[in-house]
Amino acid sequence: MATDFEKADPALQKAVRSLVDGFASIPGEWAKAVAEKIDNDECYAMPMWGTVFVVNNMDKGNIEKLLTHPVPEEAADLIEFAEEHRIEIEENEMKLLALAASDAEDHEDEIRRIRSQIQDAWQESGDEIATLTSFGWQIVGSTGILAREIDDHLVLGINGCGYDFYEAHWMPLYLALGYSWHKHDEPTPAPKPKRKKSKAKSKPAKRKAG
């Protein structure tokens, strides 16, 4: 069965593939070795997929604008996050509910304190993404892609395998970046029909004057 990406407009497919082709793909173990050498850490965590993608300078700044920590900063979002990851927040849930209904700007310190507790509990749970974020990986918006700077280069990683990355990650990234390359993609002109060669009538041979 065709995926949503395969069903998408061919111009959009082409634009998404062009975005990904602009990244340099390298083995994750290479990036891991560099990161361990720079950070002096022999137990560096890398995303599951064995290849990582080094972002070019043209896209780096735009992708960096999408980077975020998976643990949200808003009170209402923290409650949803705790429920999703089965984190017990006990009395803090009532506090967060009250904070969500009030002016959050007056309670930033309290929200920050509860958020820190939730983040610690999440990382202690052994969640793979939590482990990766503890090593400096961030989330690229809602694309499911992880990103981290290694040796002054922005590196993208995917913590998964066995599904269509273009549909799940790359197309959402292209759309999140707000690119519109597919709208300016000129359609490939249809081949011109070949003209049939007309058979020239053979002229009678001229007699030589004898």
Provide the pLDDT for residue 193.
47
Q: 93 or 53: whose pLDDT is higher?
A: 53
Count the helix, strand and coil residues of the chain and give each as a percent rounded to the nearest 5.
Answer: 50, 10, 40
Q: What percent of the chain has pLDDT over 90?
A: 32
Provide the pLDDT for residue 110.
83
DSSP 105: G
Nearest CA among 112, 39, 122 for reference residue 74: 112
Residue type, 35: A
Mean pLDDT of the 62-71 span: 91
Q: 164 by DSSP, 3-state: which?
A: coil
Q: What percent of the chain has pLDDT over 70?
A: 83
DSSP element (H, E) containing 43: none
Per-residue pLDDT band at 37 (split at 50, 70, 90): confident
Distance CA 64, CA 70 (A): 15
| Digit-coded pLDDT (tens) for 115-168 | 888 888 888 888 888 888 888 899 999 999 999 998 889 999 999 998 999 999
| Digit-coded pLDDT (tens) for 181-198 | 888 754 444 444 455 454
Per-residue pLDDT band at 210 (split at 50, 70, 90): very low
Distance CA 170, CA 23 (A): 12
| Digit-coded pLDDT (tens) for 87-118 | 888 777 777 777 777 765 667 888 888 888 88
pTM: 0.72
Q: 192 by DSSP, 3-state: which?
A: coil
